[in-house]
A and B are shown apart, each in its own frame.
Chain A
Amino acid sequence: MIHVIWETIKVQMKNSWARPMFRFTLVASPVLNTVLIYEMFLHSGRHDATSYIILGSGLMGLWSSICFSSIGDIARDRYMGVLPFLFTSPSNYNLLIVAKTIGNTVLASLTLVISAVTAAGLFRLTLQIPHPGLFIAALLVTIAGFIAISIPISYLMLLSRKTGLYMNVLDIPVTLLCGFVFPLSMLPSWTRPISAVLVPTWSTRLLQLSLRITPDWPAWRTTLLWNGGLIVVYVGLTALFWRVIEHRVRQQATLEVNE
C-alpha cells in the first residue's frame, strides 16, 4: 500500500511538473501575487500587512495548485484514457487520489517559499516567525485541510464533465472568501457562513495566529477545533461521494471522454 502511494506521488509530481501551466502557477503566479498584494497593502497602514503579503500570495498559489491540479488531474486522466485503468485496478481509487493530492501539495508548497523570497528580494519584507514550531504546526494543519477539501471537490468531477467550470468557480472566490489576502471583516456579513464552512478560512486564521508574539491559546483552541471538525466533515463527504461514484460510474459510463 505504501508502495502504491509512493509511486502515485512520484508519477503525479512528474506529470504535473511536465505541464507548463503547472510550472507557471507554481513559480510565476506567487511572484505576481506578491507584487500585487504588496501594492494593495502599501498604504493600508496595517501592522500585519507583511503576513498578508507573504502568506496571502503563498496561500493563493497553494490553493490554485491544489485546486487546479486535483480537479484538473481527473480531467487529464480522463483525456489520456487512463482513468478506466486506475478505476478498475485492485488499488483503491481513493488512495490514488489522496496520493495525487499529496504530490501536488508537496510541489505546491514551493509557492510559499517563492512568495517569501520575492517579498524579501523586491520589497525587503521578511515574515517574522516568533515561534517556528507553532508556525510549522499551523502549516501542516493547513496542508491537511487543503488536501481534505480538494478531494470531495475533485470527486464531483468523476460524476460530471463540467470540470473547467468548477475550477474557475472555486479558484478566486475561495481566495476571497477564506481571507487569504485581506481580513474577512472587510466582506459583507452574509458571506460569513460560507467562509466558516471552508476550511482554508480557518487554516489562514491559524497561520495568522501562529505569527503572534504572545500566543492566544483560546483562539488557537477554537480555530484548531474548526479545522479538525471541518476536516472530519470533508472526509465524511469523501466517503459518501465515493459510495455514490463507485456505483454511478459503472451504471452511467462517465469515465470516458467521448460518451
Chain B
Amino acid sequence: MPMIKVDHLERDFVQQNIHWWKRTSTIVHAVRDLSFAVQPGEIFGLLGQNGAGKTTTIKTLTTLLLPTAGTAQVNGLDVARDYKAIRQHINFIFGGELGLYRRLSARDNLLYFGSLYRLPLPTLAKRADELLALVGLDNEAERLVETFSKGMIQKLQIARGLINDPSVLFMDEPTIGLDAMSVQNLHKIILQAKQKGTTIVLTTHYLHEAEVLCDHLVVIDQGQKVAGGTVAEVIDAGQKQVPDTAITSLEDAYIALIEGGGTHDPRHLGNH
C-alpha cells in the first residue's frame, strides 16, 4: 500500500482584488486533477515553476488546507476527514527562517514542539538531544534561535520535523538560500532520515538536488502533472518532447517538459 495516494486532487483559491471603488474576486486553480502515489520509505520530489502548486499540494497533504475536489490519503487516512489521526504521524518543514520560536533556545524549541505530540518528557529529552546531534547542533543547543544563521535554522527545522518520529516528513524547499556546504550537509541528514525509514516528500527548485535525492518525482506545471516517475523516466519523458536534442540531465528534461507542456487551459477563469 502506498504511503501517500493523491487522486484527482483539485484546490482552488479565491483571490480578492481590491480596486478603488470595488472588489472583485478571481478563482485560481492552484492544483488541477493531480494524481500520484508515494511509496513507504522513499524520497519523493515535487518539481515545478513558481506558482505551480507544490506548496498547495503539501499543505493539503499536511491537513492545513482542504481539497476543493478529489481525494488525498496519507497512510490510508483521508486528509479531509481523518485529519486528526494523520497529524500524529506526519510533520513538515518550510524552507526559510520561519517556523521556530526565535526567542527560545534550539533545545527549548524541540522540547516544546515535541510536547505537542504528547511524548513523555524523558523520551522527548533524549530524542531532542539525539536530533540535535544528528543535525550537528549539539554544541548550540542552548543558544537562542535568533542568533542562528540560515543554515543552522534549517538544520533545526529538520530536527523539529523529526521530533515526533513521523512516518512522513514533508519538506517545502528545505535548502532554499543555503550555501553549498550546508546543502551537502542537509542532503546527508535527509538521506539519514530516509535510512531510518521515514518517507520524505520534498519540493525544490534545484534540479540537481532532485536528481541526487529523489527516488520518484512528479513535474507539475500550472497545477497539473506533466511527467512523473524515476529520474530516468522523467528524462525519457523530456526526451520525447524534443526528439531532435539529446537530453541527459533532469534539468534539460524539466525545461523541455515545461516548455512543451504549455497547452493547458487558462488557469484564471475570469471574474465572478
With an 8 Å Cβ cutoff, the count of chain A residues facing the other chain is 29
Query: Which residue of the partner chain, among A7, A81, A85, A87, contacts B111 with CB atoms under 8 Å?
Result: A7
A246 nearest in chain B by CB position: B83
B-side interface residues toward A, CB under 8 Å? 13-14, 59, 62-66, 83-84, 87-88, 92, 94, 96, 98-104, 108, 111-113, 115-118, 120-121, 160
Residues on the A chain within 8 Å of B115, using CB: 3-4, 7-8
| Neighbour of B64 across the interface among A3, A81, A255, CB < 8 A | A255
A213 in the interface (beta carbon within 8 A): no
Grouping DSSP codes into helix (H, G, I), strand (E, B) and loop, the B interface class, with mixed when no group exceeds half, is loop
Contact with B along A219-259 (1 / 0, CB 8 A): 00000000000000000000000000001001111010100
- Please tell me if the beta carbons of B64 and A87 are within 8 angstroms of each other in the complex: yes
A90 contacts B111, C-beta separation under 8 Å:
no
A257 (CB) vs chain B CBs: closest residue: B98
Measured CB to CB, the residues of A under 8 A from B are 1, 3-4, 7-8, 11, 14-15, 18-19, 80-82, 84-91, 96, 247, 250-253, 255, 257
**A84–chain B nearest beta-carbon distance, Å:** 6
Q: Are the CB atoms of A15 and B104 closer together than 8 Å?
A: yes
Bound-state Cα–Cα, A96 to B102, Å: 18
Q: Of A7, A14, A81, A88, which contacts B98 at CB under 8 A?
A: A81
In-complex Cβ contact of B101 among A82, A87, A88, A89 (8 A): A82
B94 A81 Cβ-Cβ under 8 A:
yes
Q: How far is the CA of A1 from the CA of B102 in the complex (A)?
A: 25
With A4-B118, A90-B117, A91-B118 as given contacts, are A85 and B99 in contact (CB-CB < 8 Å)? yes
CA distance A145 to B264 in the complex (A): 57
B64 touches A84 (CB 8 A): yes
Complex: A1 Cα to B64 Cα, angstroms: 23
The distance in angstroms between the C-alpha atoms of A35 and B210, with both chains bound, is 65
A-B contact pairs, 28 of them (CB 8 A): A1-B118, A3-B115, A3-B118, A4-B116, A8-B112, A15-B101, A18-B103, A80-B98, A80-B101, A80-B102, A81-B94, A81-B98, A82-B100, A82-B101, A84-B64, A84-B94, A85-B116, A87-B64, A88-B62, A88-B92, A89-B87, A89-B117, A90-B88, A251-B66, A252-B14, A253-B59, A253-B64, A255-B64
Q: For the complex, what is the distance from the CA of A1 to the CA of B115, rounded to whole Å?
A: 9
Taking a contact as CB atoms under 8 Å apart, the answer to whether B64 and A11 are in contact is no
Flag if B63 contacts A250 (CB, 8 Å). yes
How many angstroms from the CA of A96 to the CA of B120 in the assembled complex?
17
User: Would B118 and A14 count as touching, CB distance under 8 A?
Assistant: no
State whether B102 touches A89 (Cβ < 8 A): no
Which B residues touch A257, using CB under 8 A? 98
Q: Which residues of B contact A81 (CB under 8 A)?
A: 94, 96, 98-100
A82 partner residues in chain B, CB cutoff 8 A: 98-101
> For residue B116, which residues in chain A have a CB less than 8 angstroms away from its CB?
4, 85-86, 89-91, 96
Cα(A1)–Cα(B117), bound, Å: 10
A residues near B103, Cβ cutoff 8 Å: 14-15, 18-19
A247 to B100, CA, bound (A): 25
Q: How far is the CA of A14 from the CA of B145 in the complex (A)?
A: 13
Q: Looking at the assembled complex, report how far the CB atom of A115 sits from the nearest CB atom of chain B, in whole angstroms.
A: 27
